[in-house]
Amino acid sequence: MGTAAAILYVFLWASAFVPSRILARAAPPLTILWIRFFLAGGALFVGAWLAGLRIPGDRGTWLRLSLLGTGGNALYLGLSYEALRHLSAGMGSIVASTNPLLLALLAPWLLREPLTLRKTVGLLLGFSGVVLAMHTRALTQEARPVDVLISAAGVLAFVFSSSASCSGRRCWASRSRRSTEWAWW
């Protein structure tokens, strides 16, 4: 089941850039995101209620969830949708896929994780692939530098909000599992 869920997630994530680009050109990004978050938030609460999960009541958990939602969703997706108004869907997905590379690159400072030789080689290979994929489209109408930077700023917002919820290798969700288990449902 885990492998099937991972494959489904990758498929859904990768296929989201084409409709996102179409929507970004058809309506203001904040309108799209407001509707998307309203529907997703409603579905999340209904799903949590049906599963019998406890919704957190303390302010600290809500503050952390709000910070994660703001950086990991609102800023990330808002800036990505804004960039997709001019950026091609392919370039948008390439920039967004730098997320794990940037997190791995910043992990020694943000999460105090060592940057081993194996990780360094992986980062070099990963960034080489990004440069290779972007090289042919660089400075074209489908990859204007300002749009690439806007999209990259969204990815950085996601990276920083994700890492802000972790301390070392232990994320706050694992320390307070009882009150946040519904958020990871």
> Treating both helix axes as pointing N-terminal to C-terminal, what angle do 76-84 and 145-164 enclose, rounded to 10 degrees?
170
Q: What tens digit of pLDDT does each residue of 70-106 get?
A: 888 889 989 998 998 888 888 888 898 898 899 888 8
How far is 95 from 142, CA to CA, in rounded Å?
Answer: 13
Cβ atoms within 10 Å of 100's Cβ, excluding its own: 12
Q: What tens digit of pLDDT does each residue of 14-32 get?
A: 777 788 888 888 888 888 8
**pTM to 2 decimal places:** 0.75
Domain residue ranges in the chain: 2-184
pLDDT of the residue at 85: 87
Q: Is the pLDDT of residue 131 over 70?
A: yes
Question: Residue 33 contacts by C-beta under 8 Å, 6 or more apart in sequence?
Answer: 74, 77, 78, 81
